[in-house]
Amino acid sequence: MTEISVRLACADYARVMPLASGAVKPAGIDLSLTIGRGGSWPLRADLLRRATIATEFDGGESSMGAHLRRVETGDRSFVALPVFILRGFTMRDIYVRKDGPVRSPKDLIGKRLGLYNWFASGGIWYRHAQVAMGVPLESVEWHVGDIEIPGETQQAAQVAELPNHVRPAPAGRFLAEMLVAGEIDAMWSPPRPKLLDADKGPIVRLFPDFRAAETDYYRSTGIFPMMHIVVLRRSLWERAPWIARSLTDAFAAANGSFDASQRGFPDAFPWMEAELDKTADLLGSNPYGHGLTEANRKAVQAFINQALDAGIIGRSISVDEYFADFLQSQEKR
């Protein structure tokens, strides 16, 4: 059988390297995987944009939130695969001023809180974590804008869509400098601010021991948040619906290959073997698993519900609707 050519783009995550190197190959597919380099945030943003806009790719890494909005509006140009290519806990990403008024989650109530993007997947999970720590969304004054670099969040293009209670940062201002200047009291940010210094400040984490905070979050919710998925252009998927399962299986195999290498040679840092055991004790043996497992369904539905609460979508959407095409492709096998 002639292999189908598929061109995807994603960041240079360690777990996709077995696919990028060719050590793992999807059945029936000649995969070309373009990846970022050096853990570059700007390069990842460019690859995510090109994955769904440029004709050079058949898809790739995409924001879960972006696809959720496509589903709501009836935009069927892309098919979502339950390949959760980016996951991460969030408590590490809330920052405060060292000499500021916020020392604990309850101190956030009534304060001015910065956010890098109202619509992004990370922003949705930040708000989910905030509610979990007992801080209602309506109890803070929201300010949305770039953290430290112009255009880093593409927020400017979305200002007109912000809810009435959410304020864009002043033109030319960055949330990090506003935090230092006392114009906001805290901020959620995926990239670490350049002025972060746990000892001297001026910016510090609200949760210095974020591992403990994130462990508590997982124990109370059972969720290991996922931010990005893999999508395929519908035009390609319609030619061969089976490629959805083949690619999902291949990304799962890449996960398995990566995990095996870390267990076999746990030398990326000195105490890695102990950390692997600790993580498995809490999250289980396959926390980065793909597919529509019960745990993944629970997390995706929580994500959708939080987006609904924030006004990002206007109606309830089920996990089956979100992945409707993928599920349909299973029926066609």
Asked whether residue 241 falls in the same domain as residue 217, the answer is no
Q: For 50-70, what is the mean pLDDT? A: 95
Q: How far apart are CA 310 and CA 327, in angstroms?
A: 27
Q: How far apart are CA 144 and CA 61, in angstroms?
A: 24
Whether the Cβ atoms of residue 300 and residue 65 lie closer than 8 Å to each other: no
Q: State the Rg of the chain over Cα.
A: 20
Asked whether residue 172 falls in the same domain as residue 52, the answer is no
Asked whether residue 60 falls in the same domain as residue 168, the answer is no
pLDDT given at position 163? 85
Asked whether residue 183 falls in the same domain as residue 305, the answer is no
Cβ-Cβ contacts under 8 Å for 35 (sequence gap 6 or more): 9, 10, 11, 12, 13, 16, 20, 47
Answer with the residue of higher pLDDT: 162 or 231.
Answer: 231
pLDDT given at position 33? 97
Three-state SS string over 246-309 comes to: HHHHHHHHHHHHHHHHHHHCCCCCCCHHHHHHHHHHHHCCCCCCCCCCHHHHHHHHHHHHHHHH
Asked whether residue 101 falls in the same domain as residue 48, the answer is no
**What is the CB-side half-sphere exposure of residue 278 using CA atoms within 13 A?**
8
Q: What percent of the chain has pLDDT over 90?
A: 89
Per-chain mean pLDDT for the chain: 94
The DSSP secondary-structure symbol of 2 reads P
pLDDT given at position 101? 97
Whether the Cβ atoms of residue 176 and residue 194 lie closer than 8 Å to each other: yes
Q: For 70-90, what is the mean pLDDT? A: 97
Q: How far apart are CA 45 and CA 11, in angstroms?
A: 9
Q: pLDDT grade, residue 122 (50/70/90)? A: very high
Whether the Cβ atoms of residue 58 and residue 238 lie closer than 8 Å to each other: no
Report the CATH number at residue 71.
Answer: 3.40.190.10
For residue 118, pLDDT over 70 is answered with yes
pLDDT given at position 162? 85
For residue range 314-326, what is the model confidence (pLDDT) as tens digits? 999 999 999 999 9
User: Of 221, 247, 278, which residue sits at a domain end?
Assistant: 221
Report the CATH number at residue 172.
Answer: 3.40.190
Q: How far apart are CA 117 and CA 104, in angstroms?
A: 23
Cβ-Cβ contacts under 8 Å for 276 (sequence gap 6 or more): 262, 263, 266
pLDDT given at position 98? 97
For residue 165, pLDDT over 90 is answered with no
How far from chain centre, in Å, is Cα 92?
Answer: 14
Asked whether residue 254 falls in the same domain as residue 183, the answer is no
User: Of 169, 196, 221, which residue sits at a domain end?
Assistant: 221
Asked whether residue 233 falls in the same domain as residue 297, the answer is yes
User: 3-state DSSP call for residue 113?
Assistant: strand
Compute the CA torsion angle 322, 323, 327, 332 (nearest 10 deg): 110
Asked whether residue 288 falls in the same domain as residue 212, the answer is no
pLDDT given at position 155? 53
Q: How far apart are CA 202 and CA 69, in angstroms?
A: 37
Domain count, the chain: 2
User: 3-state DSSP call for residue 226?
Assistant: strand
Asked whether residue 120 falls in the same domain as residue 134, the answer is yes
Asked whether residue 240 falls in the same domain as residue 310, the answer is yes
Asked whether residue 163 falls in the same domain as residue 200, the answer is yes
Instruction: Write down the pTM of the prediction.
Output: 0.94
Asked whether residue 69 falls in the same domain as residue 99, the answer is no
User: Of 221, 242, 259, which residue sits at a domain end?
Assistant: 221
Closest-CA residue to 146 (of 122, 115, 121): 115
Whether the Cβ atoms of residue 125 and residue 306 lie closer than 8 Å to each other: yes
Task: Give start and end residues of each alpha helix (H) in the chain.
Answer: 17-20, 41-53, 64-73, 121-132, 175-180, 210-221, 234-239, 243-264, 272-283, 294-309, 319-322, 324-331
For residue range 199-241, what is the model confidence (pLDDT) as tens digits? 999 999 999 999 999 999 999 999 999 999 999 999 999 999 9
Q: How far apart are CA 276 and CA 262, in angstroms?
A: 9
C-alpha separations of 62 from 48, 126, 250, 261, 299 in Å: 6, 18, 18, 27, 17
Cβ-Cβ contacts under 8 Å for 211 (sequence gap 6 or more): none
Residue range of the domain that includes 158: 91-221
Q: For 49-63, what is the mean pLDDT? A: 94
pLDDT given at position 177? 97
